[in-house]
Amino acid sequence: DKSGVLIVKILEIFEECTLQVAICQQLEQSPSMLLPEDAVINEGEPILKVLFARETAAHLKSRPQDVIHIYPPWQKLLLKNTDVPVIMNTYFSQKVLLGEHSEKREKTYGLTKMLIRKNIISLAQTFSLDDLDDELHQKSSDNQVACDPQAHNNCDSQQHPLAPSDVNDSLLEMVENQGAMGWREAQVRVVIQRVYCLPAREGYRSHVQGNKPLCATPSPLSNGGMFCRLCLLVQDAYGMFSEVQLQSLPSADHLEQYCRRWEGKFCCLAGMKILQRTTRGRALGLFSLIDSLWPPVVPVKVPGQSQDSEMMTTDLPPPSFCYILTVQSGEIHVEVDEEEQISNLYQPPAVCGLKEILQIDGCHERCSFWAQVLYLRLQTKHSVPINQREVWLFVTDSTLQNVAQTTPKVVAVSVAASCVLRPEITGALSAASRLIFFKDALWGNGEIICVERTVLLLQKPLLCSTAGADLSELTGPVRLDELDSTTQANSICAVRGTVVGVNESTAFSWPTCDRCGNGKLEQCPQDRGLLYCNQCSDVVISPILKMQLEVFLSCPSRPQSTVKVKVWHEVSFGVLSRVRPGNYEVQSVLGKEVGLLNCYVHSVTSHPNCVVLEEIALL
């Protein structure tokens, strides 16, 4: 009833660039005494295009045939080459309900959600570039049909919001058009470059199917109690990357299967929601993986240019940002075309020998290699929970074993707690030495680290680039570096020397069961002179005596150093093999020649000049 109020009746609604666009007919006055269906509009009445912001549209919940009052200060924009004015600044708008029939219809429609057609406007269309692909996109947009909620199940394939005609090939364009709330009615076609698992703790547990952890009990190697989610690193036709975090796996055992089936294949993403827009400075680990896949191996499209082959290029700066996407609950999220051939855009892991990796000058470089695991050791900081401690794997390959003394024979690989280790891997390493494929490990500051997005596999991938690297398997016995002046802490080496002293205060022995190896034997209740094993529930007639002894060696390779070695009877063949069980006479050990002992280096100090070792058994 106030002057300046614009009264319109909605004929059609669609969404474009996050705005809701309503095609309306202007009414001279509010049909207060008529139903909206009975408000006959003359063809001579002006047609308007009314723009509603996302918040206003959500408040109005408008549908075709609704009557809307738009209050000042609305504005009219007249465009060249068109007769339809555009109404803007419509923040003060109100839907008018006319009569009981309208109120009843509003309550009924309020229970269902209307599907709004979305027009995807590409940059090529904006800049009027003449390109066949753009014409196809335009046609697909024109052919979109908004399904009525009641007739949604009857829509044919051409009308379905996930029909192939709606597939886009630009992640950035999809994000800009669909907004941060995500997209449901469109798909984007991308190439899966990598498949991996990320750890998910605490807050993510509510999303875990069945709420089951990977392991029932924490284990030093199993990421016990840690949930994980399957993730994809995808790349679109323009070279842009995005990380897609899918729902969690009940177990990480199937990761190797997903890697073989999905990597390099095209997939269509739908029902995505933006978790985060991250940058290089905030996600060094993610961008180190992206950098290893840059530049593209084939020319990619350039936004805003014609997509003829001569306009495509690989000479582009590396990405500076990346969208982290996740699935929206209840949607069909990822459709992988496993029957299709491998995409030309896919970059398989470039496999190097360990010798080549040790010569890389850069920092935070991703690397992939095939190596034999000789020994593993869990971090021993008691202040750190057991499932958060890092694991050290000591590995070697033919490129290290078949070279001169200039390079180490064995390399330590740190497996951070954030690297999800599959039970299949941990079980294999617990049993014996194994060849392991390390995919996308991180090299920097002289160390190889398995971090988030690093995958350990028992088999080589079907596709990998070797670039002439020597990947032959080891045939002869493995050699360790001998202790010398270059030996560093947290390494393994071979030691030879002469026993010059014994730390008698730390020497001890204990009996173990000869059947199961149980080291916690008790006195037999019936005969106090015999030992009893609770695990076997039987008397132990011939217990095996295990011993520990700390000896000091004189080593020709480190003549100025004090070398202290903790030796064990169950692994030692150089010292305790000459000691009778229960006999710790110093004279039986002093002056004996030792070597070669396989040892782990606990510490190397210069003041005092001392090396502390522990005898180990290789896998």
168-172, 211-215, 300-304: range with highest mean pLDDT: 168-172
State how beta strands 447-450 and 435-444 pair: antiparallel
Asked if residue 530 has pLDDT above 60, the reply is yes
SS (H, E, C) 501-532: EEEEEEEEEEEECCCCCCCCCEECCCCCCCEE
| Spatial separation of the C-alpha atoms in residues 435 and 428, rounded to whole Å | 10
Asked if residue 383 has pLDDT above 60, the reply is yes
pLDDT digits 0-9 by tens, 509-522: 888 888 887 888 88
pLDDT, mean of residues 590-605: 90
pTM greater than the 0.75 cutoff: no
Q: How confident is the model at residue 361 (pLDDT cuts 50, 70, 90)?
A: confident
pLDDT at 99 (0 to 100): 60
pLDDT, mean of residues 327-336: 69
Q: Tell the CATH topology of 166-199+227-301+318-347.
A: OB fold (Dihydrolipoamide Acetyltransferase, E2P) (2.40.50)
Q: What is the DSSP letter of 500?
A: E
The continuous run of DSSP H or E covering 291 comes out as: helix 284-292
pLDDT digits 0-9 by tens, 261-281: 899 999 998 878 888 899 999
Nearest to 490 by CA among 358, 381, 388, 604: 604
Nearest to 118 by CA among 148, 86, 140: 140
Nearest to 258 by CA among 201, 197, 344: 197
pLDDT digits 0-9 by tens, 101-131: 555 555 555 444 556 777 777 676 666 665 4
Class of 354-457 in CATH:
mainly beta
| Spatial separation of the C-alpha atoms in residues 554 and 579, rounded to whole Å | 19
Query: Where in the chain are the domains?
Result: 6-30+43-96, 166-199+227-301+318-347, 354-457, 491-615
125-139, 380-394, 570-584: range with highest mean pLDDT: 380-394
What are the Cα distances from residue 421, in Å, to 218, 288, 442? 13, 20, 16
pLDDT at 556 (0 to 100): 92
Q: How confident is the model at residue 48 (pLDDT cuts 50, 70, 90)?
A: very high
Angular region, 304: left φ>0, alpha ψ -120 to 50, beta rest: left
Question: Can 354-457 and 491-615 be said to share one CATH topology?
Answer: yes
Asked if residue 160 has pLDDT above 50, the reply is no
Say yes or no: domain 491-615 is CATH 3.40.50.300: no
Asked if residue 139 has pLDDT above 80, the reply is no
* Average pLDDT in the chain: 78
Asked if residue 363 has pLDDT above 70, the reply is yes
Comparing 3-17, 32-46, 234-248, 348-362, the range with the smallest average pLDDT is 32-46
| Spatial separation of the C-alpha atoms in residues 129 and 135, rounded to whole Å | 10
pLDDT digits 0-9 by tens, 459-497: 877 677 666 666 677 878 899 999 999 999 999 999 999
